[in-house]
Amino acid sequence: HYTFISSISAYRGFPPGIRYDEDADLLPGSQDYGALKARTEAAIQSAMPGRVAILRPGLIVGPHDPTGRFTYWIRRIDAGGRVLAPGRRDRLIQFIDVRDLAEWSVLMAEDRVNAVFNAVGPQSTLTMGQFLDECLDASSQSGARLDWLTDEQVLAAGIEGWTELPLWVAENDIEAGGIFLADNRRAREHGLEFRPLSQTVKDVQAWSRTTVEIRQSTLLVRTLSSEKEQATLARFDGF
């Protein structure tokens, strides 16, 4: 039996407002990360028919994250001041704690499950506002304040989604506007469970406050600089 950690990046695209399940079209070809994930899925299934669990997570988060994406929000709110919050407060978002994914992956291997899953969470109703509020609660002494800007304002400032502002992509983006609309019901029906969001946030916060590991990572993304953030907020004051 083979349990393979694939990615939702294997899907052909994420049109705005469209929910997608495991039967959505995959990328063709063999160029770039997502297409290579799709080709690897096919190769494994061909070599071991009926004995493969394909797990497609979205953003994987938690302590020791080498990319700094999720950690950006924890550290930014920990630093205090005016925080640029992108898009709508009630915009749905998805990610999964690496520990939840790891524990469930072991179960899929032990049970020799043969299926494809969207391994996303932590729930299908989590919003950007709820996530950032949880970060504020964990950093209650920082004095941080969320200043919400619309997708259009963030785009007008030339801010890049997913890298400069992790967990944000403009909702009307033709290729990725619906990226946070993965249907995870099949995975939940097969035992995927999620620890409380507060635990993930607090654990990442505790790790990020004490480690130099993240600054040494070669996979660290270039997130939004404080100068660009504050200049953008000042530009749209009063709008």
Q: Which helix (H) or strand (E) holds 3?
A: strand 2-5
Model-level pTM?
A: 0.94
Tens digit of each residue's pLDDT (9 = 90 or more) over 164-199: 999 999 999 999 999 999 999 999 999 999 999 999
Closest to 167 (Cα-Cα) out of 125, 203, 129:
129
Count of positions (residues) in the chain: 239
Q: Going from the N-terminus, what domains does the chain have, and what CATH number goes with each?
A: 2-235 (3.40.50.720)
Helices 197-210 and 69-79 sit at what angle, rounded to 10 degrees? 80
Whole-number Å distance between alpha carbons of 55 and 117: 5
* Three-class secondary structure of residue 92 per DSSP: strand
Tens digit of each residue's pLDDT (9 = 90 or more) over 59-101: 999 999 989 999 999 999 999 999 999 999 999 999 999 999 9
